[in-house]
Structure 1
């Protein structure tokens, strides 16, 4: 009987304030969708960073003297340098690139689509180098510092600065999404609080009679709290649907080329499903806490 009464009260409240209920659902849906979008961006950034760090190599350029005297890295000075780098903690692989190989790569790969620049490259102009693959990313700085001081090394090219700039842009997008979500969350809090107050005011006579015949405060206020939670859950479902649509219509299409060359990690359906439960939980808790605080401090009848 009590469960049936509470269910009827919740349904009545949602119908009675239908315009405010719809507004609350939409505001909550937008807030949760932005929050979920921020979580998806975080997932994309984390996975993309792993991709980048797995491909980042440290290129060690040899000085002109060593490059010219030992073009194939067969003499002791060059082989000792290579072996010492390979023996460093965290280093997985060391590949030698001769001056001839460097020229060939520049013409056929680096400037393959820019023949005017490729024509400016001269044989022997590029130094020989080692490409060093570091498996333990925490060892980057230590390995680079150790290599810089070795004889025969002219310079060291570290790609981490480029990676950091890329991820600072993605991090900015993530922060912007969360900032907008925070603004929407404030709007949702105010709207939920206002909806609960209006619902309680319109049924103040019923609540007063129920309190006079012995109904507890929780029993009379629970329908208002459940109204907010139900609206938030509907908003959460809409937010999840919106994220699924955004994945297909925006992420997959707008980032198709970046996905294709493996620059950014693809946002998958599994990522959306991973985020979805958080939206439901956050939406329900968000509405319940807001409704409880409103009833506790503003609706005392």
Structure 2
């Protein structure tokens, strides 16, 4: 019986909170529009950087996945020895794939790289100076140095090459881009909360007498706070969804324009971007709205 009474009271309170929320949104239409606009503007800026970071991160992953090292083998090895070296390399932790390249394949690939100047290699078929090798791809580019060192220890491996200086500089640049991008997003997130908090604060200020009266007649802080928190969440979600729609239209146009000019990389498809940012923005918008309302109402509860 007590549980039934409690659930009934909870349901009636929830209905009251929703009624108060929508009543406040309609009654304070100007502040509602201002708050939604503030959220939308903040989220648009946040969204542009988020889209940039998502694309840079994808490009970085593509670059990392294409990085490979070459283990050059001695010429006087038997097939069994070559196969054993390949098995040893495959067994190393962090190795994604191992592909054997014979001396003949190495020469053919070199000719393809030279293109029109491949005639310079004519006559080398009988006395091929290029070594046989294993092309190794790793699961994590940061493991290349360690894997390279381990492969060098394998008997029959002459040397290992992966352009250490270039790879380390590239990984350093990728790390900086990711850290800077994440830092900017966090800064914009905080700025968004401040902007929305100040906007909602104006609406709360207009209802300060109403809050004071409710406090004096015995309403708890949370009873007063809930309609404002729900209001903030709704405002945050509406602003976020409007900004997602605008960003999707802008990104669709920009991606088609840029992809037609890019050769190596391709920007993420618009449906992938919209799917990601809709999820992120729904959560971020709700959090920003709730925090903005919570911060705004706090000072008016101390009466």
Indicate if the aligned counterparts of 1:60 and 1:132 stay in contact, CA closer than 8 A: yes
Looking at structure 2, the residues matched to 146 and 211 of structure 1 have their Cα atoms a distance apart, in angstroms, of 71
Task: Determine if contact 1:35/1:177 at 8 Å carries over to the other structure.
Answer: yes
2:291 match: 289
CA distance in 2, matches of 1:160, 1:245: 42
Asked whether 1:176 is paired with 2:187, we answer no
How far has the Cα of 1:288 moved from its partner? Answer: 0.9
CA-based RMSD of the aligned residues comes to 3.9
Partner of residue 199, structure 2: 195
Alignment gaps of 5+ in structure 1: 67-74
Q: Which residue of 1 aligns with 2:240?
A: 236
Matched, 1:95 2:112: no
For residue 233 of structure 1, report the CA deviation from its aligned partner.
0.9
Query: Contact 1:41 / 1:174 at 8 angstroms: preserved in 2?
Result: no
Aligned pairs (5 A) from 1:105-144: 105-107=109-111, 109-112=112-115, 115=117, 118=118, 123=124, 126-133=129-136, 144=148
Which of 183, 186, 190 is the equivalent residue of 1:186?
Answer: 190
TM-score between both structures, scaled by the size of structure 2: 0.70
Aligned to 1:70: none
Match for residue 59 of structure 1? Answer: 70
Listed as ranges, the gaps of 5+ residues in structure 2 are: 1-14
CA shift digits 1:21-72 (9 cap, x unpaired): 25422333225414642663476257536xx53x554323356xx3xxxxxx
The size of the alignment, in residue pairs, is 279
Offset at residue 8 of structure 1 (A): 0.9
Moved more, 287-296 or 28-37: 28-37
Report the alpha carbon displacement of residue 235 of structure 1 after superposing the two structures with TM. Answer: 2.1
Contact 1:93 1:132 survives alignment (8 Å): yes
